[in-house]
Structure 1
Amino acid sequence: MFASAVLSFAFAASALAVPALQARQSGPCAGFGAGSTVTPTYNFTLTAVPSGAGANATGAPLVLGWGPAGDSPAASEWVLSTEASWGENEWPYITLQDGALLPQPGTDEHGLGAYNFGTDTGDEVLFTIIGEEASPSTAEIFCAALVSGSYVELAVNGDAGNFALCNATTTWVSNQVNLVYAPNADNEDYTYETCTPVRVELIPYDG
């Protein structure tokens, strides 16, 4: 009887442990290495590095720029563009909170917030600029992922390996280059033939 009680206790403890383990492995960081997180303790910028390049390879810094056209530039969605193609950086750094990617406004953008409400395959990584909210209903789909152990990569929807830089079809500036998740030929916001695969690294911000 004592042995039966011990076995029953052990089984119950095991059953309780399994959901806890599954919870730790779920969400935007599922499948990535230990230390991957949806809430890093530091602010950062993003840099697009050619896929397959070494750990110390030079990348293209990414900044917020105007995206697909609305009725006016102010009404458009915003995207992550290469700083070289957009030409300025009014949102100097980014935070990641519970999987929500949140560009932070500079002095001229004070009182505004940039929110991503979802990124599907084929999409540019889009943000909507609205009045800053304490608890916006933003998509919690991003991860600061340890893939190789040499650098921290941005992942979306549990995937760090399908980002690309593509030439935009918008004409806000000449030859604007935007970040796209898993590009496809059917999307008219960028020219598919120009897309080049990249990994997106998080660079700690010390400004």
Structure 2
Amino acid sequence: MFSTLLSVFAAASVALASPLAPRTGAWCSGLGITYDTASNFTLTALNTTLPNANSTGVPLVAGQNGATDGAEFEVLSTWATYPYLDFPTMSLNAGALVPNSANGVPSYDMAAVAGQPLQFFTTSESPSGEAAQIYCAIVDTDPDFEGPPTLAVNGDADNFALCMNGDGPYAQNNVVWRPTSDNNGMYLYETCYNVTLQIVGGNA
């Protein structure tokens, strides 16, 4: 399975080195050179406080976050704590970030709430409401080191963290936006560390 993930990342990394199309939507306002539409990329989390094993950080996948009648819920989890490829890649659709389901069932992003994990839902039924147009990709324009684009939500690319949602053998390390100790038990605040979300690969 790990070799499968590596092959997905390798295939995805061959494109998206430059902005696809600048956008002026509110979700990209004031962020510099940006785009908000791309398909079939992967996400990684780069630790901003400690050295990483590589320049793109750890792979992220859509991890499980419960289910209800007709729908499943997902969060962004590290591959190391949720080693499954139910959603091999991600897409940006005019500011909406959605996991691409391996079985073709549509997925939708949910509004990002400060102090909570980034959340998504997957359903074959017609969803109530529209996908949230809150995400934007920021192009790295540093002439000395042009890294991969970074992801922003609600105009913020600097306040993501990885936080463990428990301490058991199946606990997941999930992406949280603006973590707080007052989180109703959704994650262990003392385990959180700051990360930058990076976009690897993709196409228009």
TM-score (ref. length: structure 2): 0.75
Instruction: Please report the RMSD computed on the Cα atoms of aligned residues, expressed in angstroms.
Output: 2.8
Matches within 5 A, 1:145-164: 145-146=138-139, 149=142, 150=146, 151-164=148-161
SS in structure 2 at match of 1:119 = coil
CA positional deviation for 1:47: 0.3
CA positional deviation for 1:170: 8.6
For residues 196 and 57 of structure 1, do their structure 2 counterparts lie closer, same or farther at Cα, with a shift above 3 Å needed?
same
> Among residues 39, 56, 59, which one is paired with 2:57 in the alignment?
59
- Structure 1 segments of 4+ aligned residues over 6 angstroms from their partners: none
* Structure with the greater alpha carbon radius of gyration: 1
Identify unmatched segments of 5+ residues in structure 2: 1-22
Matches within 5 A, 1:1-207: 25-34=24-33, 36-40=34-38, 42-51=39-48, 57-67=55-65, 69=66, 77-106=73-102, 109-110=103-104, 112-131=105-124, 137-146=130-139, 149=142, 150=146, 151-169=148-166, 174-187=170-183, 188-205=185-202
The 8 Å contact of residues 32 and 146 in structure 1, kept in 2 or not, is answered as no
How many equivalent pairs are there? 174
Cα distance in 2 for residues equivalent to 1:65 and 1:131: 18
Cα distance in 2 for residues equivalent to 1:153 and 1:162: 12
SS in structure 2 at match of 1:28 = helix
Higher fraction of strand: 2
Higher fraction of helix: 1
For residues 96 and 26 of structure 1, do their structure 2 counterparts lie closer, same or farther at Cα, with a shift above 3 Å needed?
closer
Higher relative contact order (CA 8 A, sep 6+): 2
- Identity in percent: 36
